[in-house]
Amino acid sequence: MRKLPGKNLTHFPKQPGMIVLNFEGTKLGQLITHHIGNKVKNESLALSLKKTEFELESVSHLLKYFLTSFKPFEFFKFSDLESEKSIHRMAKEMFEDPDAFILQSRKIAKALFDATKHPKIKKGDLSIALLSDIQLGDEMVDAIGIFKSETTVPFLKLDRQDVNYYVNHDTGMDLKGLDKGCLIFNSNEEEGYEILVFDNTNGSRQAEFWKHDFLKMEAHSNEFHQTKEFLTLTEAFVKGQYSEEFEAESTEKIDLLNRSINYFQDNKSFNKEDFVSDVFQYEDVIDSFNKFENDYQKDRHLNLSDAFEISIPAVKKQSRLFKSVLKLDKNFHVYIHGNKEKIVKGEEEDGRKYYKLYYDEVE
């Protein structure tokens, strides 16, 4: 790895808790493509014998296609560092001996084929690339890209012949991005490398197979991971155990979720004791949350700290998932962002339900 001289230029706006990642000078070295079918549906695995050829004019389009979906927020690492069939070992061989690129790429493709055991996983083309000159933090690193394309789109081609035009069509890849991707940076190898991963698949089981069944990775325990996971478990508690144990109204649950997000937005660092005191307030609720947290972490093999720096990108990402909408049949939806004391629930003598809203001024 080479230290960057001078000023850092970033591909992304630099924010607290986000590592600088810049693809502007990235070069595409070797590239190979294999076809991966679904093993349980008796679809085939077709392994290429030679590297994929490409024109120099196509490189910028290929890099855009491969790299668009990666964001420098949550980094992962390989959890399997020992077994002979681990992607970690194949990546290490490829980094150390680029001449072994084709052989190791075929092993990676076979590992993906063997992991494709869910009937809903689509067949597709697996592209594996050697990339260089990527800025990661204050270093320039090489990377191995593993990209799976499961979707093709139709497009029109307009050809001119003499004074006439002819329209025909074909199918190909959409440059907006692919379906699944993994970038293995040649950094921190002894800990399982620094890895970015994404999967645009809808459906939890299909999505899990890419990260866990195939790549066998786990999140690095950084501030993004800590922030995201703690907000996720808080939401699970409020919508699950708290709702059932305390027979909570919708307004109470929304109020707790809003207070949770507000704590993370208003503070630079997290302290669990302060958090539970500010958000849950009552001893019986705090005790219930602590028990839920212990069980939640044990079931999911998490190891969250009681104190960590708060990641702004993680807060922004999770806050979009927190629902602050009170749905009143099909007629009204009320967005609640603050004090639940200003909304009162009641019922008329004829059985019609109502909410009474109080406000200080119109904004």
Q: What is the pLDDT of residue 339?
A: 60
Same domain? 161 vs 246: no
In a domain, 363, yes or no: no
Same domain? 152 vs 276: no
Q: What is the pLDDT of residue 1?
A: 42
Question: Which one of 220, 247, 267 terminates a domain?
Answer: 220
Same domain? 167 vs 301: no
pLDDT per residue as tens digits for the range 264-280: 999 999 999 999 999 99
In our burial notation (b when 16+ CB lie closer than 10 A, e otherwise), range 170-200 reads: eeebeeebbbbbbbbbbbebeebbbbbbbbe
Cα 155 to chain centroid, rounded: 29
Question: Which one of 195, 220, 245 terminates a domain?
Answer: 220
pLDDT cut 90: percent of the chain above it: 48
pLDDT per residue as tens digits for the range 83-119: 889 999 999 999 999 999 999 999 999 999 999 988 8
Same domain? 229 vs 214: no
Give 180's strand partners: 148, 199
Same domain? 305 vs 247: yes
Beta carbons of 142 and 2 less than 8 angstroms apart:
no
In a domain, 362, yes or no: no
Beta carbons of 56 and 12 less than 8 angstroms apart:
no
In this structure, the number of other CB atoms found within 10 A of the CB of residue 80 comes to 15
Same domain? 175 vs 275: no
Same domain? 65 vs 213: yes
Question: Average per-residue pLDDT in the chain?
Answer: 84
DSSP H helical ranges for the chain: 59-67, 87-96, 101-115, 204-208, 223-237, 243-245, 250-266, 272-279, 283-300, 312-319
Same domain? 121 vs 93: yes
pLDDT per residue as tens digits for the range 34-56: 999 999 999 999 999 999 999 99
In a domain, 277, yes or no: yes
Instruction: Measure the CA dihedral 219/224/225/231, to 10°.
Output: -160
Same domain? 184 vs 234: no
The mean pLDDT value for 296-317 works out to 89
Same domain? 50 vs 192: yes
Same domain? 142 vs 100: yes
How far from 46 is each of 38, 120, 125, 176, 313, CA to CA, in Å? 12, 20, 10, 26, 40
The mean pLDDT value for 137-159 works out to 88
Tell me which residue range forms the domain holding 317: 224-357
Range from 4-8, 135-139, 229-233 that averages highest in pLDDT: 229-233
Residue 346 DSSP SS3 = strand
Q: Total structural domains in the chain?
A: 2
pLDDT-wise least confident of 7-16, 184-193, 213-222, 315-324: 7-16
Beta carbons of 255 and 335 less than 8 angstroms apart:
no
Phi, psi (5° rounding) for residue 94? -70, -40
Beta carbons of 187 and 220 less than 8 angstroms apart:
no
**Exposed (0-12), middle (13-18) or buried (19+): which is 263, by Cβ within 10 Å?**
buried
User: What's the rounded Cα separation, in Å, for the pair 344 and 248?
Assistant: 14
pLDDT per residue as tens digits for the range 237-254: 998 998 888 887 777 888
| pTM of this structure | 0.74
Question: Which one of 190, 220, 250 terminates a domain?
Answer: 220
Same domain? 174 vs 284: no
